Amino acid sequence: AQTVTQSQPEMSVQEAETVTLSCTYDTSENNYYLFWYKQPPSRQMILVIRQEAYKQQNATENRFSVNFQKAAKSFSLKISDSQLGDTAMYFCAFMKPVANSKLTFGKGITLSVRP
Amino acid sequence: DTAVSQTPKYLVTQMGNDKSIKCEQNLGHDTMYWYKQDSKKFLKIMFSYNNKELIINETVPNRFSPKSPDKAHLNLHINSLELGDSAVYFCASSPTPGGSSYEQYFGPGTRLTVT
């Protein structure tokens, strides 16, 4: 079974600065997908970024990028130029790339962006 | 246009009652899911359906019964509600896997409060 660990319960960052959210996972699979989801106070789950394990290049989406270390089973999210709208819970998630696969989530981290 | 919708968004009811939550997706996806987010914000899969067929049933009490009348709808019926059922329930859908289409699209969630 897969497990996803987010050990930091909460973080705070000054607006315009950079913050990194940590995530580790455990799996015996060689191919899989990793995701970061954002959940603002509205509670909507929003996909931030996705990484395929077979790709060595780290995924990037505008101000969001990941540091994917497959051997270390680490998948951190870097948010550059933090904005007030980034204040939310962030969930790291794992999924096997097969039909009907479920998402396995970490416990989440609460990020607060200070003005 | 709303991609994945849920009704109701809020549901307050008493212990022992039976209630249903409805989910509809207009994305043409084949697979639909129910996730539960507990009071500590932990998200966990409950069920998944593919084209009206139950695929995943994750040790959920028998009081919970999903029903999929067609592949665009997945409803969740809960019998004999208990205090511990209070949570946010998310519906999600995903397309037939292929390429990068493993993303799951979430509905807005239904906050169920059992008193």
> Given this model, what pLDDT does residue B19 score?
97
> Given this model, what pLDDT does residue A100 score?
76
Mutate to test the interface with B, among A32, A101, A109 (most CBs of B within 10 A): A101
Q: C-alpha distances in angstroms, B3 versus A102, B25, B28, B54, B73? A: 19, 6, 10, 22, 12
Q: C-alpha distances in angstroms, B85 versus A91, B18, B24, B75, B88? A: 22, 12, 22, 16, 9
pLDDT > 70? residue B97:
no
Tell me which chain B residue has its CA closest to the CA of residue A33: B102
Q: Which of A19-28, A97-106, B43-52 has the highest mean pLDDT?
A: A19-28
At B11 the three-state DSSP class reads: strand
- Cross-strand pairs, B5: B24
A114 touches chain B (CB under 8 A): no
Are A101 and A35 contacting, i.e. CB atoms less than 8 angstroms apart? no
B24-82 pLDDT, tens digit per residue, is 999 988 899 999 999 999 999 999 988 888 888 887 899 999 999 998 999 999 999 99
**Angle at the Cα of B101 (from B51 to B56), degrees rounded to 5?**
40
Residue A89 CA to residue B73 CA, distance in Å, equals 28
> Given this model, what pLDDT does residue A98 score?
79
Size of interface A-B (CB pairs under 8 A): 58
A28-39 pLDDT, tens digit per residue, is 999 999 999 999
Which position has the token pair 């993303």?
B103
Interface contact flag, B102 A95, Cβ < 8 Å: yes
At B99 the three-state DSSP class reads: coil
Can you tell me the mean pLDDT for A72-95?
A: 97
The token pair that represents A40 in the structure block: 């603002």
The interface residues of chain A toward chain B in range 10-39, judged by CB-CB distance below 8 A, are: 33, 35, 39
- pLDDT range class, residue B10, cuts 50, 70, 90: very high
